[in-house]
Chain A
Amino acid sequence: MKDAQVDILLVDDSQEDVDLTLHALRAEHLANSIFVARDGEEALDFLFCRGPHGERSFELPPKIVLLDLKLPKLDGLQVLKEIKSDARTKTIPVVMMTSSKEERDRFLSYDLGVNSYLQKPVDFDEFRKVVKLLGMYWLMVNQPPVNHAADNLKNETPLAAKQGK
């Protein structure tokens, strides 16, 4: 349904990493709907409801954007800049997830207002753990800025149960 809320916008051009991420998220039942963009332009079209995503609404942003730094067409920092400098999108939480260790990238990201900055682990198991923690934090603990009335009726699984207590 074009009106459905997307939980995560995943922006990554590495098929392997995308597969890993999707797999990890689904295994933990953390996200109902995930949209994958392969490059910066597609990500921005999605968020700004234009081009092939002209039917989307600004009223239904994703709960979080998982953004890689190195992207074709428009790199992660530029995407971040666009998101954080427009009033319609600046409150969408953006988590930078990248293999870069560059201090400059970190500095610029935080300066542009990234909500958090993570390093992509190389190890398969570590990767899965990171995605799980990330998902739990941003989809279950965090309150996204746009409060959909229907969201507030969801009070099924207590957080502790989810953590396996």
Chain B
Amino acid sequence: MSVGIGIHPELLIVDDNPADIVLAREALSGSKYSVQISSVEDGEEALAFLNHREQYLNTMRPGLVLLDLNLPKKDGKAVLAAMKTDPELRCIPVIVFSTSKLGRDIARSYELGANCYVSKPGNLIDFFSAIKLIEEFWFGLVIAPPRGE
């Protein structure tokens, strides 16, 4: 993977369940791409983070966002819609990562511009496998959109 055109190794996890955030961090610990992980627990925080607002003035824009759907304050779909209609944010790949298997949640996520949809697996092995595959594919293989900033 040529340096410079891959997805920036900064991951933003948006999930209201701290246990899931910890699991994702565990899965990515010792990541060969040295992925830096930030996390927020509700939709409004997510948008504040992405727009460098409030305490997030100096954060880096993430190269990838892992987004849960059921969030307090602003739910995942609203965050997705906001991101994908904002010219500065819409090129950031978003993976919806949710326990929901509802057909309408999946379809709606794609309609709103999600790059993909991954079902949160119920056991550790599959959970870790999914996260590792996400890491391998997005940080190891995908060519990023050119960064404007």
Contacts and interface: CB of A to CB of B under 8 A. Distances in A.
A58 interface: no
A118 B142 contact: yes
Interface centre among A101, A133, A143, A165 (most CB of B within 10 A): A143
Contacts of B119: 143
B106 interface: yes
Interface in B112-139: 113, 115-119, 121, 125-126, 129-130, 133-134, 136-138
A119 interface: yes
B91 A110 contact: yes
Interface stretch (A17-25, A35-43, A134-142): A134-142
B143 A133 contact: no
Interface stretch (A6-14, A47-55, A74-82, A155-163): A155-163
Q: For the side of the interface on B, what is the size category?
A: 20 to 34
Nearest to A162: B129
B93 interface: yes
Interface string B88-113: 00110100000001010011011101
B141 A163 contact: no
A142 B114 CA distance: 11
B contact face: mostly helix, strand, loop, or mixed = mixed
A163 B134 CA distance: 13
B116 A93 contact: yes
A130 interface: yes
Given A141-B133, A160-B125, A115 B115 contact: yes
Nearest to A98: B143
B106 A147 contact: yes
A91 B103 CA distance: 13
Contact of A106 (B118, B130, B145): B145
B146 interface: yes
B110 A91 contact: yes
A103 B146 contact: yes
Contacts of A136: 133
B145 A107 contact: yes
Nearest to B126: A159
A137 B145 CA distance: 20
Given A117-B143, A159-B121, 4 more contacts: A116-B138, A136-B133, A143-B117, A160-B129
Interface of B: 5, 90-91, 93, 101, 103, 106-107, 109-111, 113, 115-119, 121, 125-126, 129-130, 133-134, 136-138, 140-146
6 contacts: A106-B143, A111-B91, A133-B137, A141-B118, A142-B118, A145-B106
